[in-house]
């Protein structure tokens, strides 16, 4: 009895049907195990289950589905199940979300939407330096301000910088670093003191080409102070004196006040209850030669535009 005869007349034999064997294992049968024969697996064979075929299921590969890929020549918008969001209102919300992040992280936002050649930098709260301030303190981080100034110096579309201050002071070296960056910029700069420009905020205020102070704003001038561990040796006081001379020298070089007068205001007693120094209000800061003029945002922007125009006249071909 040959093999062909057995297969034709006895279909249920082990030779013809493996399932007839009592020891049959479907997991080892390549025709029934979907993991061994992809052609019999409905989840991997594109001819048996179109929902799991990445070339026919629009949820897995939109580029090959003519109803979801607008670039496909067979694209039909009338039967398009899902298209990318093209709603301008939602796109506008996404842009506003980015601006909200800018306000949260840097205190900066580009308003108005109209193109402008002036950029505004705000220095508020406490100027944070090498030490991180407690979370309840509102701070301006110098590692945020310095990269912005570098970008503004290199950006040809920005022609002037407006610096708005309302700060209580902070880290001396961080404040001086910002002030040195401002004074070395080739583009016109104008500063405006609103509320207060105290302590190390004074060098930043005088570092611009022209400075304004609001009528009710104040500036506190006092000696440099140290926090934390202080070693009571002569070298500590010499270090403090050298750091103080750096501040005095910078302020006097970039304002109309004299070093002797500035030190007199710094060491004055009887004006501050728990400290020595002087508080200058609005016109007093102008009278002492620290600030150029009393004014607000309108005067500051007008002056900055004037400086920009003067720079263009002096250098009509552009550049620094």
- Summarised one tens digit per residue, pLDDT across range 179-192 is 999 999 999 999 99
Q: Is the pLDDT of residue 193 over 90?
A: yes
Ranking 20-29, 129-138, 299-308 by mean pLDDT, the lowest is: 20-29
Phi and psi at residue 240, to the nearest 5°: -60, -40
- How far is Cα 23 from Cα 45, in angstroms, rounded to an integer? 29
Q: Can you tell me whether residue 272 is helix, strand or coil?
A: coil
Name the one residue in this structure whose structure tokens are 């920009």: 308
Q: Flag whether the pTM goes above 0.85.
A: no
Percentage of residues in the chain with pLDDT exceeding 90? 45
pLDDT at 236: 85
126, 127, 162: which is closest to 143 by C-alpha?
127
- What gap in Å lies between CA 110 and CA 103, rounded to an integer? 10
Q: Comparing C-alpha atoms, which of 118, 128, 203 is closest to residue 152?
A: 118
The tokens describing 84, both together, are 């990318």
Written out in words, the top-level CATH class of the domain with range 120-314 is: alpha beta
Of 220 and 53, the one with more pLDDT: 220
Please state the φ and ψ torsions of residue 167, each to the nearest 5 degrees.
-130, 150
Q: Which two tokens stand for residue 279?
A: 């508080």
Whether 146 and 104 have beta carbons less than 8 Å apart is answered as: no
β-strand pairing of 278-281 with 218-221: antiparallel
Output the pLDDT for position 61. Answer: 57
**Residue 10 clears pLDDT 60, i.e. is over it:** no
* pLDDT for the residue numbered 92: 46
Catalytic residues: 199, 222
């Amino acid at each position: 009895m040959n093999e062909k005869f057995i297969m034709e007349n006895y279909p249920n034999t082990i030779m013809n049907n493996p399932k007839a064997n009592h020891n049959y294992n479907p997991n080892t049968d390549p025709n029934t195990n979907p993991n061994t024969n992809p052609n019999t697996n409905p989840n991997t064979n594109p001819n048996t289950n179109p929902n799991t075929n990445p070339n026919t299921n629009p949820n897995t590969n939109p580029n090959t589905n003519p109803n979801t890929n607008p670039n496909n020549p067979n694209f039909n918008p009338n039967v398009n199940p899902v298209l990318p969001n093209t709603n301008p209102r939602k796109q506008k919300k996404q842009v506003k979300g980015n601006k909200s992040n800018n306000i949260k992280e840097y205190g900066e936002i580009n308003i108005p939407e109209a193109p402008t050649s002036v950029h505004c930098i705000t220095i508020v709260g406490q100027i944070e330096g090498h030490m991180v301030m407690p979370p309840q303190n509102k701070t301006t981080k110098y590692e945020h301000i310095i990269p912005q100034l570098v970008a503004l110096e290199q950006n040809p579309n920005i022609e002037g910088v407006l610096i708005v201050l309302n700060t209580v002071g902070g880290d001396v070296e961080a404040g001086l670093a910002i002030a040195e960056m401002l004074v070395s910029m080739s583009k016109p700069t104008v500063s405006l003191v609103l509320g207060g420009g105290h302590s190390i905020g004074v060098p930043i205020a005088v570092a611009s080409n022209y400075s304004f102070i609001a009528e009710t704003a104040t500036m506190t001038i006092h000696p440099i102070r140290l926090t934390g561990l202080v070693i009571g040796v002569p070298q500590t006081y010499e270090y403090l004196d050298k750091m103080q001379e750096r501040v005095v020298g910078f302020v006097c070089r970039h304002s109309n006040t004299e070093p002797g007068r500035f030190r007199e205001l710094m060491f004055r007693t009887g004006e501050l209850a728990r400290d020595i120094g002087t508080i200058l209000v609005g016109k007093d800061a102008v009278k002492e030669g620290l600030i150029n003029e009393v004014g607000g945002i309108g005067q500051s922007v007008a002056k900055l535009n004037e400086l920009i125009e003067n720079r263009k006249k002096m250098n009509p071909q552009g550049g620094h």
